[in-house]
Structures are given as C-alpha cells and as structure tokens.
Amino acid sequence: MSPLIYGLFARSPRYVEKIILEILSICLRLFFPHALISNENSHKSTDSFIIILKFPDMNTPRPFNIVLVEPEIPPNTGSIARLCGATNSVLHLIHPLGFSTDDKHLKRAGLDYWQHVDIRHWDNFDAFLQAQNELELFFFTTKVTKVYSSAQLNPGSFLIFGKETKGIPEDILHLYQDRCYTLPMPNPNIRSLNLAMTAGIVLYEAIRQNSGR
C-alpha cells in the first residue's frame, strides 16, 4: 500500500489539533471507508502533524490489525510486533505508552524484525475510534462471556486489547458491548492471560477463519 499525505498543517495548540484531527478523520472516513487513517506525528514533538491515508491494493487482501490501548510492558509489545510482522498484520499503538519505543526490552522482544512491521501511532483512544468503521472493531476483555471464536473476523478487522493492568476502559466496553469477546478460562484462580499470548490466539483464529477464502 502506498501512503498518501493528505494534509500538512502548522501545529496549533493541542486541544485545537485534536478537534481538527477528529473532524478530518470523520470526513475522510465518509469519503474513503476502506482507507486506513493515521496521524503520523501525533506522538512526537514536532512543528507539524501529518494525516496519512493508506489505500489497500484491490488485488491484495486487507491486513488484520492488532490494536494495543496504552500498553505498559515493553516485552509484550515487542512480542506482538514480531507476531504482526510474521502475519503481515498492522500494529496500532494507542498513546500514552507506558514505555519509550527505544526501550531495550521492547527492541529485544522484537529482535531484528522491526523494519518489517507496519506500526501506526495514535495520540489517544478517541482519535483512533473516530477514524474507524465500527463494524470492523472487536474488543477483547475478561469482563464478558461471549467467546472469541464466535466473532466473525474478516480481513481488515481491528482486534483491540487493553493495557495489562486495567484492560479496556469500562465506558468503551459499555459503548461497544455487542462487539466485546473473551477467551474462556475455566480455572477461577487465573484472572487473565498474558497480553501477547491473547493477541496471538485471537489473531490466528482470525487467520484460520479466512484460510479457505
């Protein structure tokens, strides 16, 4: 996929920038429903920000997307980045992160595969949600009973996982309650699975569902 730089703007105060970005994301989603939208510089301290549209090649299947909401543990994110690289999936990181992307543990977990991974950064969860098609969003949490394998996961789907200590915010789970799934854990003494393990299970279930297409 080739990136298209849609607009380059002089940096405004942060609250003004967020409003502009949200409005543009909504408008762009209306006209380009299949495009992937990201704010390339939203997490950096620069004098400008760039909105990028990436259009899928119609002859190439759309990739799956792993979304980490404010991840806290570097090795988990590193392992998931490696997973995304191996499966040609896109990794979306929702800021603020609990670590620096230069963290040595993060790099070690991803080994030397970083240059082969499509990683996109988002300033916050609201900006990400505003830019997406709701029907492509799937949230994974321990707070529901609907099993992950019952989700109909198609190429282009966004598989969303919360931070290690708190998971996905309660208000988001309530808002998208019909799109929330869980991984069953029969042992009541185990509260949750490792984030990287959970992402791997769900992503390969998505791949399995589409392997015969």
- Both tokens of 213, joined, read 């297409």
- Does residue 84 contact residue 66 with C-beta atoms inside 8 Å? yes
Which of 53-57, 78-82, 125-129, 149-153 bottoms out in mean pLDDT, i.e. has the lowest? Answer: 53-57
- pLDDT, tens digit, 9 for 90 and up, residues 159-194: 999 999 999 999 999 999 999 999 999 999 998 999
The sign of the CA dihedral 45, 51, 56, 62 is positive
Tell me, what DSSP letter sits at residue 161?
E
Mean pLDDT of 36-44: 54
Percent of the chain with pLDDT over 70: 69
- Does residue 108 contact residue 3 with C-beta atoms inside 8 Å? no
- pLDDT, tens digit, 9 for 90 and up, residues 86-112: 999 999 999 999 888 775 766 665 556
Domain 65-209 -> CATH class: alpha beta
Region of 88 on the Ramachandran plot (φ > 0 left; ψ -120 to 50 alpha; else beta): left
CA atoms within 13 A on the CB side of 69: 23
- 27 pLDDT band, cuts 50/70/90, is confident
Centroid of chain to Cα 110: 17
pTM score: 0.73
Structure confidence at residue 179 (pLDDT) = 98
Mean pLDDT of 149-156: 97
Q: Is the pLDDT of residue 6 over 70?
A: no
- Residue intervals of the chain classified under CATH 3.40.1280.10 are 65-209
Centroid of chain to Cα 140: 12
Q: How far apart are CA 28 and CA 30, in angstroms?
A: 5
- Coil, strand or helix at 78: helix
Q: How far apart are CA 67 and CA 120, in angstroms?
A: 9
